[in-house]
Amino acid sequence: MILTLTANPSIDRTIALSQPLRRGEVHRIAATYDEAGGKGVNVARVAYDSGLDVLALFPSPARDPFTIALGDSGLPHLAIDSVLPVRANLTITEPDGTTTKINAPGGVGSPGVLTLLASAVVEEARDAKWVALSGSLPADAQPDFYARLITELRKVTRARIAVDTSDQPLLEVIAHLPASAPDLLKPNAEELEQITGETGLEEAAASGDFAPAAKAARTLIDRGVGTVLTTLGSAGALLTTSVASWVATPPPIQPKSTVGAGDSALAGYLVAASAGLPEPDRLRYAVAYGSAATALPGTRLPTPAHLDLTAVTVTPLAP
């Protein structure tokens, strides 16, 4: 089973424009999409649609529109009753795929909810093969929530742990290494720069030079992280382990929305890992899923029918 935690879930409304966004002007909406989302929920959706056993865990009032919508979707889930309603986020997409996100901070309203949430993760993780801790934390959570949770998980389960977060929660995970070291860390280029102090990684990758990103990722491996999956925008992605690095370049696509692309990439890796595929193929699946998400409008997430695995090129990076 893949267990995902979405500590700060959201109702995601995506507005698709038929022309570029111009501040201060009136625009016409081409389409709107509403989805019960959040990074962990997105990972669970993609993995579930790929045929895997999943459980999406999150805080939400029992009759919140978020929980009702997720129940209607059929996705296996467990909601921890919270005091505050689930936040609503807004995403604006333009015809060229440019995506503008406006996110609410969110909150659960009580420290007791967060305690129950952490306890539920630890309990459900006993039967999991992977635990994915994804997304931001609610405003009333301590920023070291993920770091402490990883430490607790290591005491009770052999499940492998994946982390995809940013800003202070990510910095706290790194600050508490090696005790908080995940088996898989999935930063984008900006996040990898934030936690390693390196700069210009995405620009270098865009020009075909992946060595700086690989070098930065290896500093995290040296501190205890198992594997680093770095997404590098249109340049593709980089997978770094203790023994090697591989680069994957995506197929040519017409971008429509980047919503859920990183979540889909993480799900693709987990799908391949669950099938026992080697690291290069895990990277191939990650990039295929992430690219497929970018080619879909709004909040739509890819299924196996959207994949073009043969169009993803994976090559080892010279030491």
- The residues annotated as belonging to the active site are 263
Note whether 153 and 131 are within 8 A (CB): yes
Among candidates 86, 90, 44, which has minimal Cα distance to 63? 86
- Amino acid identity of 115? T
The span from the CA of 142 to the CA of 259, in Å, is 26
The span from the CA of 65 to the CA of 63, in Å, is 6
Among candidates 38, 23, 10, 46, which has minimal Cα distance to 307? 46
On the question of a cis peptide bond just before residue 61, with omega within 30 degrees of 0, the verdict is no
For residue 16, give Cα distances in angstroms to 94, 98, 256: 6, 10, 9
